[in-house]
């Protein structure tokens, strides 16, 4: 039976809540990154990056069932939330066992010292947690995307508090880092369970799971395509642990630009319930409004951002501009992916004909990463040869440039594919305004002295942000509307909280 319901998701509100939560969590995220960078040796820092790379291969199935869960929950198919969660937990148990069994072989091939075996083994717990989180986030994405933002904030806050004790106070090193993340994930999972409890009603539906598993090869095909690009980082780690460290400190900052995608978090469930071209334009504007200045800021202050993490890797600041542009490209083509997935109607009636899936544009966007990865891996093998890359920094720089070129190419291809799905208008006028305001901000950041201390760097970053929004608010009326929206929402929340507080105080008296 086909279910149709008008989406109650507020596109701008859900996006703003998710993004603001992400930005607020940046302070704690940066603090945690600094704890890691300043409490580990070069070898340990490189190994921490490698742990993330390895983990990615064992969480490769984490998003397959949740992909369909979001679509079924958004279209209000009863029992789909419970089915998705239980199924993903079962998959996580199987993958954690596979990981533990294959761990000795992994350590041997990558020549990782046996002293770090316990750290790699504990990662199996994270595998269980991540599969559970993916399932719960899929449910929230369909109904309450803003709640995902709150979860980010809770996770980051708990992680840094735990890190303070386990990493700095008890000096547990990599063990402290891993345990901090595991406990913080557990708290986030408990929060998401509380929020999704109403959606987890109904019975487990084998019929849904059968359809999802039948279609899972196409999802696995897509997920593998997103994991393969991390293989060059494995090669970089094998070339030099220091090279992987250079990449990690730059990627930590570049990843912040990727947070802009959360401004479009509500687009996917909105398109699933009802296709509206205006929603696409709104989402693109929101992402561009912050992704562009964040990219410019990362490029202009690249030296400062690297130094505050690892002063001994300061000369790696040359890597950050390329990864920043790469992250900007990835943020935009994420929106284009959302358009393709949101407008696809093949599973609208809770049936998924696999053969027809191969003829959809969904299959096309899943195929693109394979083409890009083939070229990237070949190029990486070439640049990491002794005759090309002479030093760890050179190797890192070449890999960053290759990654940037691949992501820009993906951006152009996915734009063409998504436009064929839905003839939307790219907001070129808004893009130009964001670029102008970002350029002025960038010039100011370029000419002022670049700080080397954390507090001063944050102050200069804040100065750049204020400059950007001041200029943009002057030339763009939509920005002024967005500011008013934020102010009005804040007033509304305060007006709700204040009476409750007053009531509690009166009861106490």
In a domain, 471, yes or no: no
What is d(CA 279, CA 268) in angstroms, rounded to the nearest whole number?
10
User: Do 352 and 211 touch, CB atoms closer than 8 A?
Assistant: yes
- What size, in residues, is the chain? 509
Identify the helix (H) or strand (E) that includes residue 316: none
In a domain, 6, yes or no: no
3-class DSSP state for residue 198?
A: coil
In a domain, 205, yes or no: yes
In a domain, 386, yes or no: yes
In a domain, 344, yes or no: yes
Lowest mean pLDDT among 240-249, 348-357, 434-443: 348-357
In a domain, 409, yes or no: yes
> What does the buried/exposed string (b/e) look like for 3-23 if buried means 16 or more CB atoms within 10 Å of the residue's CB?
eeeebebbbbebbbbbbbbbb
Q: How many domains is the chain partitioned into structurally? A: 1
Q: Which domain holds residue 91?
A: 11-426
Question: What's the pTM value of the predicted model, to 2 decimals?
Answer: 0.76
User: Do 408 and 325 touch, CB atoms closer than 8 A?
Assistant: yes
In a domain, 450, yes or no: no
Confidence of residue 236 (pLDDT cuts 50, 70, 90): confident
In the chain, the N- to C-terminal Cα span, in Å, equals 55
pLDDT, position 504? 59
Check pLDDT > 90 for residue 446: yes
pLDDT, position 3? 44
In a domain, 147, yes or no: yes
Query: pLDDT tens digit string along 210-234?
Result: 999 998 888 888 888 877 877 888 8
Query: pLDDT tens digit string along 286-295?
Result: 899 989 999 9
Structure-block tokens of residue 207? 């019929």
């Amino acid at each position: 039976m086909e279910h149709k319901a008008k989406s109650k998701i507020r596109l701008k509100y859900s996006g703003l809540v998710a993004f603001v939560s992400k930005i607020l969590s940046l302070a704690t995220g940066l603090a945690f990154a600094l704890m890691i960078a300043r409490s580990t040796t070069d070898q340990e820092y490189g190994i921490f990056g490698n742990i993330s790379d390895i983990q990615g291969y064992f969480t490769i199935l984490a998003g397959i069932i949740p992909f369909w869960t979001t679509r079924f929950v958004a279209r209000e198919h009863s029992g789909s939330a419970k089915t998705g969660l239980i199924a993903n937990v079962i998959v996580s148990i199987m993958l954690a066992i596979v990981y533990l069994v294959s761990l000795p072989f992994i350590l041997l091939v990558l020549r990782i010292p046996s002293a770090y075996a316990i750290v790699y083994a504990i990662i199996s717990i994270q595998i269980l947690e991540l599969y559970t989180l993916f399932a719960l986030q899929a449910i929230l994405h369909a109904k309450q995307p803003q709640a995902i933002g709150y979860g980010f904030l809770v996770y980051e806050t708990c992680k840094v508090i735990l890190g303070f004790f386990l990493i700095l106070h008890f000096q547990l090193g990599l063990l402290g880092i891993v345990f901090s993340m595991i406990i913080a994930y557990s708290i986030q999972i408990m929060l998401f369970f509380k929020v999704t409890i109403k959606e987890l009603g109904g019975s487990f539906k084998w019929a849904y799971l059968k359809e999802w598993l039948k279609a899972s090869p196409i999802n696995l095909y897509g997920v593998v395509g997103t994991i393969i690009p991390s293989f060059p980082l494995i090669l970089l780690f094998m070339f030099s642990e220091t090279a992987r460290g250079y990449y990690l400190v730059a990627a930590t900052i570049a990843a912040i630009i990727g947070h802009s995608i959360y401004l479009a978090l509500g687009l996917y469930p909105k398109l699933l319930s009802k296709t509206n071209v205006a929603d696409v334009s709104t989402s693109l504007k929101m992402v561009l409004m912050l992704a562009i200045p964040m990219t410019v800021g990362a490029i202009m202050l690249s030296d400062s951002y690297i130094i505050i993490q690892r002063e001994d890797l300061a000369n790696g600041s040359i890597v950050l501009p390329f990864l920043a542009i790469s992250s900007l490209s990835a943020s935009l083509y994420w929106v284009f992916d959302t358009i393709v997935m949101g407008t696809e109607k093949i599973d609208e009636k809770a049936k998924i004909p696999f053969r027809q899936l191969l003829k959809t544009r969904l299959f096309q966007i899943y195929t693109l990463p394979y083409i890009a990865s083939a070229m990237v891996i070949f190029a990486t093998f070439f640049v990491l040869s002794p005759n090309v890359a002479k030093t760890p920094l050179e190797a890192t720089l070449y890999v960053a440039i290759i990654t940037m070129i691949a992501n820009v190419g993906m951006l152009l291809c996915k734009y063409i594919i998504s436009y064929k799905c839905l003839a939307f208008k790219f907001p070129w006028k808004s893009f130009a305004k964001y670029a102008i305001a970002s350029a002025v901000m960038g010039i100011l950041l370029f000419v002022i002295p670049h700080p080397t201390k954390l507090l001063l760097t944050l102050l200069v970053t804040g100065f750049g942000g204020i400059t950007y929004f001041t200029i943009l608010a002057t030339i763009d009326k939509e920005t002024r509307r967005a500011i008013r929206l934020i102010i009005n929402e804040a007033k509304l929340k305060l007006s709700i909280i204040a009476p409750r507080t007053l009531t509690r105080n009166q009861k106490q008296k």
